[in-house]
């Protein structure tokens, strides 16, 4: 019971965090961190290179045609990878 209550507190606190959007003007890549959706999203101006796509896939990102972006569940590793790729 205690674990469930702690999990509810964690989820409530996480979902209350504001959504963050960063856009790199050099390469046009936009990074969205959405705590409410529990997702990290990367928007590219065009099709990324095969090397970049392989790196995204190997780190849990999947292409989402309905949004036109690469997204992954929000966790520390996906946030780090997204920030590295967006640079």
Work out the percent of the chain whose per-residue pLDDT is above 90: 63
Count CA atoms closer than 13 A to 83's CA, side-chain side: 9
Work out the average pLDDT over 60-72. Answer: 96
Whether the model clears a pTM of 0.85, i.e. scores above it, the answer is no
Looking at residue 81, its pLDDT comes to 95
Tell me the C-alpha to C-alpha distance, in Å, between residue 9 and each of 30, 36, 39.
Answer: 30, 14, 19
- For the stretch 23-50, pLDDT in tens is 777 788 999 998 888 899 999 999 999 9
> Average pLDDT of 72-79?
93
Domains assigned to the chain: 2-86 (3.90.1150)
Neighbours of 73 (CB within 10 A): 13
Residue whose token pair is 């019971």: 1
pLDDT at 79 over 80: yes
């Amino acid at each position: 019971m205690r674990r469930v209550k702690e999990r509810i507190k964690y989820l409530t606190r996480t979902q209350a965090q504001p959504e963050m959007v960063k856009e790199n003007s050099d390469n046009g890549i936009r990074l969205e961190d959405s705590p409410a959706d529990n997702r990290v999203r990367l928007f590219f101006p065009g099709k990324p290179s095969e090397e970049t796509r392989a790196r995204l896939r190997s780190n849990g990102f999947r292409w989402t045609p309905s949004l036109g972006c690469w997204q992954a569940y929000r966790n520390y590793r996906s946030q780090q990878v997204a920030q590295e790729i967006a640079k």
